[in-house]
Structure 1
Amino acid sequence: MLESQVAETTTHVAEPTRRDFLYIATGAAAAVGGATLVWPFIQSLAPDAATVAAGAPVEVDLAPIAEGQIVKVFWRGKLIFIRHRTADEIKSAQDVNVASLRDPQPDAARVKEGKPEWLVVYGNCTHLGCVPLGQQGEYNGWFCPCHGSVFDTSGRVRGGPAPINLPIPPYSFASDTKIIIGQEATA
């Protein structure tokens, strides 16, 4: 009798039932439905195109910027000043005794060679990050209204609590009237 029970259990294969089919169908529907609901959520976590492009280089057309004018642009969420300097502003910036400066840097090191009329600097005071006012202060450069830092027409600190000059972002000239901020010249 024991042999017949063993033979019966080993040869007995269960046929799929309607309940098994319902389990499989329900599981498949749940997987497809779950993916349909979850995918838009996952897509919403990706950064939008404007955010991705924010780190990309920015092209700026210099042609409409009048001599003596300062233009503000944003690159990577940071304010950038582009100043079209006059001949007098360039001369006064070049004639400074560099040894007398808090952060000694000649004017020629702050502009691109052959383009002294264009100054491109970050637009936040190096003291605590306030936005300085253009064409203000004793040197007609920038004046920070928050704590009184003074910068000349080359963006060099000349007074107040700012410890260093206005930094220069990476940029290059694509042509005589166009710069690309965020991209150094390749040469």
Structure 2
Amino acid sequence: MGPGGEILQNPRRRDYLLYAAPAVAAVGAGVVVLPLVNSMNPSADVLAQSTTEVNLAAIEPGQAIKASFRKQPLFVRNLTPAEIAQADAVPVSSLRDPQTLDQRTKEGHKNWLITLGVCTHLGCVPLGAGEGENRGPFGGYFCPCHGSAYDTAGRIRQGPAPKNLEVPKYNFTSDTVVVVG
């Protein structure tokens, strides 16, 4: 109010305050929220485990190995031409979880099947990736816990497992090296 009781208005000051107050509040909220959001990002040790590099040079056709990916078993199998033909001959319509071998492998690397070694029934580790292990009636993997049998393409063919062995994301960095994750 002025000396004579009149109301003084300064629209420029009011407009400035209408914009400045929310801007200061937004900056303050950002200062509080950003550290909270950053705390949810994975730590350096978790990021280091998020990828696994596998050297394929020593894996002969028909052989499979076990590796580790994110603290889970990883099966890497070098399929023979006969195993590829056998997998391609299976009618997809007869499969519980229908997928072709082409859908489960990378183009140009059809002989390399890379799956997580975890049965999709209750999480047991199937046999078949180690030397002399029971590969089940379909020549792929066999889960000893409840009898699920997978074919050479890691597709469920018999038993209680509802899905095929999971194929993780992976990329070939060369003909003999694959990075999973």
TM-score for both structures, normalised by structure 1: 0.69
SS at match of 2:173: strand
In 2, the alpha carbon distance for the partners of 1:108 and 1:53 equals 30
The answer to whether residue 126 in structure 2 is matched with residue 122 in structure 1 is no
User: Structure 1 residue 161: deviation in Å?
Assistant: 0.1
- The letter of the residue matching 1:173 is F
In 2, the alpha carbon distance for the partners of 1:51 and 1:170 equals 17
Partner of 1:67: 61
- The letter of the residue matching 1:58 is T
Q: How does 1:1-187 map to 2 (within 5 A)?
A: 51-55=46-50, 57-134=51-128, 136-182=135-181
CA RMSD of aligned residues (A): 1.6
Instruction: Return 5+ residue gaps in structure 2 as ranges.
Output: 1-41, 129-133
User: Structure 1 residue 75: deviation in Å?
Assistant: 1.4
- Using the TM superposition, name which of 132-141 and 79-88 deviates more: 132-141
TM-score for both structures, normalised by structure 2: 0.71
Render the CA deviation track for 1:76-132: whole Å, top value 9, x for unaligned. 111110001111111100111000000011111000011111000000100001111
SS at match of 1:105: coil
SS at match of 2:167: coil
User: Structure 1 residue 48: deviation in Å?
Assistant: 9.2
Greater than 2 Å deviation, 4+ residue runs:
47-52
Instruction: Tell me the matched-pair count.
Output: 135
In 1, the alpha carbon distance for the partners of 2:89 and 2:108 equals 17
User: Structure 1 residue 50: deviation in Å?
Assistant: 5.1
